[in-house]
Structure formats: C-alpha cells, structure tokens
Amino acid sequence: MQLNAILSNINNVNGKFIEQAQRRLDNLTKPQGSLGRLEEFARQLVSITEKPMPALDKKVVFTFAGDHGVADEGVSAYPKVVTQQMVLNFLSGGAGINVLARHAGADVVVVDIGVDGDFGNAGESRNTPLQIRKIVRGTKNMRQEPAMTRDEALRCIDVGIELAHEYAKKGYAMFGTGDMGIANTTPSSAIASVLTGKPVEEVTGRGTGINDETWKHKVQVIKDAISFNRPDPSDALDVLSKVGGAEIGGIAGLMIGAAANRVPVIVDGFISTAGALIAYSIEPKTKDYMFAAHMSQEVGHRAMLEKIGLRPVLDLDLRLGEGTGAALAMLIIEAGLKIYKEMATFGEAGVSEKA
C-alpha cells in the first residue's frame, strides 16, 4: 500500500535551515524577535522547503467531502443531503471557502471521497475542479458497526497521499485542508476522545448548532460507538476505520503526503485536526510540516492541537469548516515569509544596528 511505502520518506526538518533563517531574521531592520510569530512562520517555511528564499506562488485548499452513517442517529441539525448540495455550491464558487480562497490567492479542489451520491459530469462545467476519488458511499453507522473496514480507511489515506504527490508535481507549494460532511463532528469527537484520552463530554461540541438535548444524545451516541467498536488508541488506522470518516482519512493522507514532499500544510478546524491527529499518530514527524490555522469553537479542538503540539495562527470563533480558516491563515503565514524575503537588512538599508 502507498502509506507504508511513503512513511520512510518523511524526515524531521533540518535544524541548519532554521538557524540560517534565524540569522537573516535577526539582521533585518527591526529589533530581534519583534515580529513575533511572523518570524516563526518564516523559519518553519524555510526549514520545510529547505530553500533559503521559498516561493509560495501556487496554493491550494483541498475540501474533502464524505457522508456519515451516524447522521441517521439525529446528531446534526441538518439532513444528510446537505453534503451533496454543498459540494455543488463549492463547484459553483458560491461557498465560504471559495470566497476566502479567492481572497488568499489559492485554488480550491473539491474531493468526493465518500459522498453518498453521484455528481456525474457536474465538475466539468463548474468554476471549481472536482476530483472523484470515492472510496465509500458514506460510512456505516458507527453506533452499530465499524464506520469502515480497515482496507477502506487505508484507501482513504492513500487518496490524500496521491493528491499530495500530484499537486506537488504541479508546482503547488502550500496545501490547505478542508472538509464537508453532515455529522462529521461526531466521528471527529470520537477520534479526539480515543486518541487524547479525554472524556467524550469534554471533546464534543455542538457542530452545526444543536440544542442541549441533541448534544446529550450526540455524546451518548459517541460513547456507544466507542464502547461497541473498542478502537485501539495505539493504532490510528484502527481508530479511523472504526469511528472515523472518509474525508478525515483523506485529510490525514494529504498531510502525510505533504510531509513526504516537503510541502507546508495548513490544517483548518476541528475535522481537519482530527485528520492531523490521525496523521501524527501514524508518523509524528508529520507535525513539522503542519500549521494550525485557527482555534475552532468546537470544544475538542484544543485537546487535539495540544496532543499534536500545534499552536493556532488565528482565533476568530470560526466553526464553518470547508477550509475557510486555512485560507485565512495562509495570508498571515505568507506575510511572515514576505517579511523574511522583502524586508531590508541593516546593511542594505544603511541603518545602524543596536550598540
């Protein structure tokens, strides 16, 4: 399988490139460290790409779409058909991710990895590309049976790896992740609980805006799913297959593939971070290539970020998904790189350095 073949290609970033970037940052016309995390972003980009002056001209956000059998348990405020309807909205360019990606100068690629429906040639006449990489037609109801087989989960990861390879070869130098799937905060909360060890109540939020009664029901559904399936916390693939989702697997694979290709990947919100946690649990070195876009309103998001060791770029009370936070964070991360590349050094500007 592609996953096993690629893991040996992932290495931690090289400290000498961090030091090289730091020397330049310290010689720019400003007090050392005065641009805070913008300098951190520049250092990380230099170390990821191993290029003294990285170029991020081509950026892309992948929005992975999949349906979830657990939606039948009434854990979402929206019906399952909305997944398919929103994919068509993405393809027409009318969704939040389309607007913010245009603002960030990034392309959007929609990936049907598990939608319970067909789009035919819908992608051919739309503004946004559609990649049909369907592994399942929606997952099974994880309260009653495993969401996917282990082979299906592995194939979802392989889809993300393949996309990372393809788009790196096309010259894309920064990836963002996004998701669409009604009820997908439920498997994401299950993944968060299993892999962080936190109680289900502490990592389960309100998703699309459910009320107190539905939230209590959602918590019980997740507890039942974990109790029934008994996912192994030491085996991320087991967790993904039993209580995960196709789009979560695709996102995990994209992060693994990004790391193997030395491409920075911007992790969107709660669902994308569930994918990041799967990737990190499979290969911890993937963390070096990740940027956490923002802190979601979903309560379990912080626990997953802390488990990986990521600090979010933004905190804007977002909870939309789609990759919207990733698109916004691209602007800030790229600002750090522009400071690093375009700001004059003391010598170039003829400015006296600190005595």
What's the topology of domain 2-53+340-349? 1.10.1610
Model confidence at 187: pLDDT above 70: yes
pLDDT of residue 129: 92
Q: Write a three-state SS string for the chain.
A: CHHHHHHCCCCCCCHHHHHHHHHHHHCECCCCCCCHHHHHHHHHHHHHHCCCCCCCCCEEEEEEEECCHHHHHCCCCCCCHHHHHHHHHHHHCCCHHHHHHHHHCEEEEEEEEECCCCCCCHHHHCCCCEEECCCCCCCCCCCCCCCCCHHHHHHHHHHHHHHHHHHHHCCCCEEEEEEECCCCHHHHHHHHHHHHCCCHHHHCCCCCCCCHHHHHHHHHHHHHHHHHHCCCCCCHHHHHHHHCCHHHHHHHHHHHHHHHCCCCEEECCHHHHHHHHHHHHHCHHHHHHEEECECCCCCCHHHHHHHHCCCCCECCCCCCCCCHHHHHHHHHHHHHHHHHHHCCEHHHHCCCCCC
Which residue in the list 322, 334, 342, 348 is annotated as catalytic?
322
Reported as a single tens digit per residue, the pLDDT across 216-236 is 999 999 999 999 999 999 999
The predicted structure's pLDDT at residue 48: 98
How many percent of the chain have pLDDT more than 70?
98
* C-alpha 246 chain-centroid distance: 13
> Could you tell me the CA-to-CA distances from 122 to 65, 91, 223, 307 in Å, in that order?
15, 8, 38, 39
Whether residue 2 has pLDDT greater than 90: no
Which tens digits make up the pLDDT trace of 128-158?
899 999 999 999 999 999 999 999 999 999 9
Q: Can you tell me the distance from the alpha carbon of 119 to that of 312, in angstroms, rounded to the nearest whole number? A: 35
In CATH terms, is domain 59-331 a member of 1.10.3720.10?
no
User: pLDDT tens for residues 54-64?
Assistant: 999 899 999 99
Q: pLDDT per residue over 69-98, tens digit each? A: 999 999 999 999 999 999 999 999 999 999
Does pLDDT of 318 surpass 80? yes
Domain boundary assignment for the chain: 2-53+340-349, 59-331
Is the pLDDT score of 51 beyond 90? yes
Q: Look at residue 37 in the predicted model and tell me its pLDDT.
A: 97
What per-residue confidence (pLDDT) applies to 125? Answer: 61
Token pair belonging to 17: 């490139």
Residue 41 has pLDDT above 90, yes or no: yes
Report angle CA 252, 290, 36 to the nearest 5 degrees.
Answer: 160
- Residue 322 designated active-site: yes
What is the model's pLDDT at position 58?
Answer: 97
Amino acid letter, 166: E
pLDDT number for residue 349? 86
Predicted confidence at residue 1, as pLDDT, reads 55
Indicate yes or no: pTM above 0.95.
yes
Task: Calculate Rg over the CA atoms of the chain.
Answer: 20
pLDDT score for 209: 86
The pLDDT of residue 123 is 66
Q: What is the mean pLDDT of residues 36-58?
A: 96
> What pLDDT shows up at residue 145?
98
Looking at residue 49, what is its pLDDT?
Answer: 97
